[in-house]
Amino acid sequence: MEKKTTVTLKNLALRLNLSVSTVSRALNNHPDISAHTIQRVKELAEKLNYVPNLFAKGFRSHRTHILGVIVPNISHLFTSTLLKGILVEAEQNGYRVIISESNNEENKQTEMLQTMMQFGADGILLSLAKKTKSIHQVLETLQRIPLVLFDKVSEKVPCTQIVINEEEAAFNAVEHLIGLGKKRIAILKETENSFNSEKRFQGYKRALKTYNIPLDLKLVQSTEDISLNNGKRLTNVLLSQKVRPDAIFAITDNAAIGAIKALNKFNVRIPEDIAVVGFSNSINSTIIQPELSTVDQPGERIGRIAAKSLIDEINHPNKELISKTIEIKTNLIVRDSSFKAI
Amino acid sequence: MEKKTTVTLKNLALRLNLSVSTVSRALNNHPDISAHTIQRVKELAEKLNYVPNLFAKGFRSHRTHILGVIVPNISHLFTSTLLKGILVEAEQNGYRVIISESNNEENKQTEMLQTMMQFGADGILLSLAKKTKSIHQVLETLQRIPLVLFDKVSEKVPCTQIVINEEEAAFNAVEHLIGLGKKRIAILKETENSFNSEKRFQGYKRALKTYNIPLDLKLVQSTEDISLNNGKRLTNVLLSQKVRPDAIFAITDNAAIGAIKALNKFNVRIPEDIAVVGFSNSINSTIIQPELSTVDQPGERIGRIAAKSLIDEINHPNKELISKTIEIKTNLIVRDSSFKAI
DNA sequence: CTGAAAGCGCTTACAG
DNA sequence: CTGAAAGCGCTTACAG
């Protein structure tokens, strides 16, 4: 097979003995153009498989219909559900999506924000890198094109932010454990509290306070990277202490699964001896034995709302930058790891 | 905070009392321009936070440095590892990536191929939708811009294709089971054999033949959607038969995990009574109890090689379209679900 | 060393 | 109903 060359308006015009202007108008169904001409033009366009160059189009109209998306790490299941929501919503509104990773590095994030602008993205969806110390470039970007934060957000940025009810969700999870009679509830969280970790920790503390349970720092275990393996490790630390916890609230499913693995290894009964609750409702939470109680974090929904909000802002630009937080409610899903139905 | 307006070459030129040409050259370090001028231009550009409009640039040079990626479904963990590889490799070569989903629908895929071209993507990475009956649009696209197939491929398309050694990997997995003394090895596969399912089934059959085990169609279980739940369901079917299998080879980890769940429920001993092997080495495979033996499918590596191949073709375009398959070797990872070390 | 001009593919206000 | 011309932001061959 041979390669083909690109068909342009000029090509069509030449072949049809028309001007480029007329061809352009015909393809766009301009009312001025005669039905006959429109038909001739469209037939040839079809025949030659003409595809308009959206680059030229967007370049002229200052609208590219591209949304830029920056996430810390694409290869997390939760991230991919966020992305799915973004793709679906973008698609429905005629937008394409450029995706890139910051790898949780601030430099990378800054660089990506710049390239997104260079590519003429109409707007940007950003989930902040964990190590974002300075939000300078974020503000710089925000002053030029619409930008919406989602999932990993920061109150310092005056823009629309899409989050779940982190604090309340954590409160509910811990309250659930307290309701089951648990009194020594440990938490597995991040060392450098990210927005999410911080909020969930606050919810944990408020629940304890509400039910008059003193905060015991021995039960507060932190780690740099809240992964499955670190969940295991921190649980081993908890088990080695003189007084063991009777419940573990992990701020991610992965850490919770690590906890269950550690408990299973030492034949600790779940939930009778130690109950476990996670956060995310990832697919993994139903694979582990016993199945994990967890907060359902509706990734696709968050992605859709984030994309929708951004597209709204693109269509109705604000003169001033304003903060606005959209909080999405979550539900606690109770499974065998915290409450075993008989 | 106030919004800012876009800074262009013209802006800079006006302020500096220079021509647009000179400013352009200065920013690109053209040897003709004096060091002094270069400095002046760059300082102002820095100060005003000038970002070149890559759209205008690409529009002129016919190179957008955008790669289009189409996958059936973004919210699968394996897909996201493929995407990670693509992003990393693209990034290293100065390319941005537009990602979209075909949702396993041929219409959607066709539409996406067109938009990718309209956006002036320099090349396309495509993982075929399951229900791709006609490859007409794929061929049409291929005749215009470089296109590389990965993961879900088709021998009908004359282009570079990146796959794993599907057939051999399946052969090895089944051979492993045979080596453990298993004789009644069931397979869980797809009804309408996709490229992957077909190859894996072939490997299964070749292994049986090699070791003189007759193919028993009762042990060949197929399903439309090779998911966890269908893995469970098909395993229940197998268990209900007069003569049970002594091993199950599932062509996906999810189906294998479903199988394990079903076996656990009926207290079938794994691997003594029935051994299980999956395919993918997804994170789930180490969460299930017992941990799953599986074929390690190096997603990130496949993604990287696919992106690399595409970028190579963009840089060295071929006149003729040629088929070329790059096969990536895989390893079988043996865990407790097939062989329990004592 | 610097500038004026053409052109990438398209749209649209202005003329006729 | 149709066309010639300008312009989106940039680069580059051509002049000087």
Instruction: Determine the Cα–Cα distance for residues A28 and A218; give it in Å rounded to an integer.
Output: 69
Mutation target among A119, A257, A294, A336 for the B interface, most CBs of B within 10 A: A119
Q: What pLDDT score does B3 carry? A: 55
Q: Say which nucleotide is closest to residue A38, CA to C1' distance.
A: D1
The distance of B209 to chain A (nearest Cα, Å) reads 34
**A89, two tokens:** 């919503």
Among B1, B80, B99, the residue with its CB nearest the CB of A158 is B1
For the segment B113-168, what is each residue's pLDDT rounded down to a tens digit? Answer: 988 887 778 899 999 998 788 888 899 889 888 999 999 999 999 999 999 999 99
- Name the CA dihedral angle for B72, B74, B75, B78, rounded to a multiple of 10 degrees: 80
* Smallest Cα distance from A94 to chain B, Å: 10
Q: Which nucleotides of C are covered by protein (CB under 7 A)?
A: 1-5, 7-13
Residues of B within 8 A of A300 (CB-CB) are: 75
Q: Would you say residue B1 has pLDDT above 50?
A: no
Residues B7 and B30: their CA atoms lie apart, in Å, by: 21
For range A147-151, the mean pLDDT: 96
Average pLDDT on B239-264 reads 97
Closest Cβ opposite residue A96 in set B91, B115, B300: B115
- Residues by CB within 7 Å of nucleic chain C, which ones? A 6, 8-10, 20-21, 24-25, 27-28, 52-53, 56-57, 59-61; B 17-22, 25, 30, 32-37, 56, 59-60, 62
- Of A53-62, A180-189, A196-205, the one with minimum mean pLDDT is A53-62
Predicted confidence at residue B147, as pLDDT, reads 94
Nucleotide nearest to A57 (CA to C1'): C10
> Which one-letter amino acid corresponds to residue A118?
Q
Q: Given CB atoms, is B98 within the 8 Å cutoff of chain A? A: yes
Is A55 within 8 Å of B58 when comparing Cβ atoms? yes
Protein-covered nucleotides on strand D (Cβ within 7 A): 1-5, 7-13
What residue ranges define each of the domains in chain A, with the CATH number in brackets?
A: 9-52 (no CATH), 61-164+299-328 (3.40.50.2300), 166-297 (3.40.50.2300)
The pLDDT score that the predictor gives to residue A56 is 78
Peptide bond into B317 cis (omega under 30): no
pLDDT at B106 over 50: yes
Check CB contact under 8 Å for A84 and B74.
yes
pLDDT at A138 over 60: yes
Specify the higher pLDDT residue, B50 or B70.
Answer: B70
pLDDT above 80 for A58: no
Please indicate if any CB of chain B lies within 8 Å of the CB of A229: no
At residue A145, the pLDDT reads: 87
> Which pLDDT score is estimated for A245?
97
Q: Which of A107-116, A280-289, B52-61 has the highest mean pLDDT?
A: A280-289
In this structure, what token pair is assigned to residue B269?
A: 């001993």
Cβ contact (<8 Å) for A100 and B117?
no
A92-112: average pLDDT: 90
- Determine the distance in angstroms separating the CA of A126 from the nearest CA of chain B, rounded to an integer: 16
Strands A147-150 and B147-150: unpaired
Query: In this predicted structure, which of A35-49, A191-205, A242-256 has the lowest mean pLDDT?
Result: A35-49
Q: Which two tokens stand for residue A332?
A: 């606690």
| pLDDT for res A261 | 97
A100 in B contact zone (CB under 8 Å): yes
At B257, the pLDDT band (50, 70, 90 cuts) reads: very high
* Segment B309-320 mean pLDDT: 86
Q: Which residue is nearest to nucleotide C3 (CA to C1')?
A: B19
- On whether any CB of chain A is under 8 Å from the CB of B291, the answer is no
Residues 177-206 of A with CB under 8 A from B: none
What residues of chain B lie within 8 A of the CB of A142, using their CB?
A: 1
What average pLDDT does range A257-271 have in this prediction?
97
Task: Give the closest of B101, B144, B283 to A4, CB-based.
Answer: B144
> What part of B 40-79 touches A (C-beta under 8 Å)?
49, 51-56, 58-59, 64, 66, 73-77, 79
CB contact under 8 A, A98 and B97: yes
Select from A50, A55, A227, A318 the residue whose CB has the most chain B CBs within 10 Å, as the one to mutate to test that interface: A55
Quick one: DSSP state of residue A272?
A: T
CA distance B200 to B220: 12
Predicted pLDDT at B171: 98
C-alpha to C-alpha distance for A133 and A321, rounded to whole angstroms: 21
Minimal Cβ distance to A289: which of B115, B284, B289: B289
Q: What is the mean pLDDT of chain B?
A: 92
Query: Is the pLDDT assigned to residue A3 strictly greater than 60?
Result: no
CB contact under 8 A, B114 and A257: no
Write down the residue that tokens 């061809």 correspond to.
A23
pLDDT band of residue A133 (cuts 50, 70, 90) is: confident
- % chain A with pLDDT above 70: 98
Contact A117 B51 (CB under 8 A): yes
The pLDDT tens digits of the residues spanning A196-245 come to 999 999 999 999 999 999 999 999 999 999 999 999 999 999 999 999 99
pLDDT at B43 over 60: yes
CA→C1' distance for A21 and D6 (Å): 13
Report chain A's mean pLDDT, rounded to a whole number.
92
Helix (H) or strand (E) holding B254: helix B253-265
Identify which has the larger pLDDT, A98 or A81.
A81
Distance from CA of B79 to the nearest CA of A (A): 8
Decide if A85 contacts A304 (C-beta within 8 A): yes
Nearest to B80 among A4, A80, A300 (CB): A80
Residues facing strand D, Cβ within 7 A: A 17-22, 25, 30, 32-37, 56, 59-60, 62; B 6, 8-10, 20-21, 24-25, 27-28, 52-53, 56-57, 59-61
Confidence of residue A4 (pLDDT cuts 50, 70, 90): low
B118·A54 Cβ contact <8 A: yes
| pLDDT tier, A342 (very low <50, low <70, confident <90, very high otherwise) | low
Q: Give Cα A316 to chain centroid, integer Å.
A: 23
B72, B104 Cβ separation under 8 angstroms? yes
Helices A77-92, B77-92: crossing angle, 10 deg rounding:
80
Residue A1 pLDDT greater than 70, yes or no: no
Contacts 24+ apart (CB under 8 A), B229-232: B229/B258, B230/B188, B230/B255, B230/B258, B231/B188, B231/B255, B231/B256, B231/B257, B231/B258, B231/B259, B231/B261, B231/B262, B232/B258, B232/B259, B232/B261, B232/B262
What local confidence, expressed as pLDDT, does residue B119 receive? 75
**Band of residue B4 on the pLDDT scale cut at 50, 70, 90:** low
Q: Would the pLDDT of A82 be above 90?
A: yes
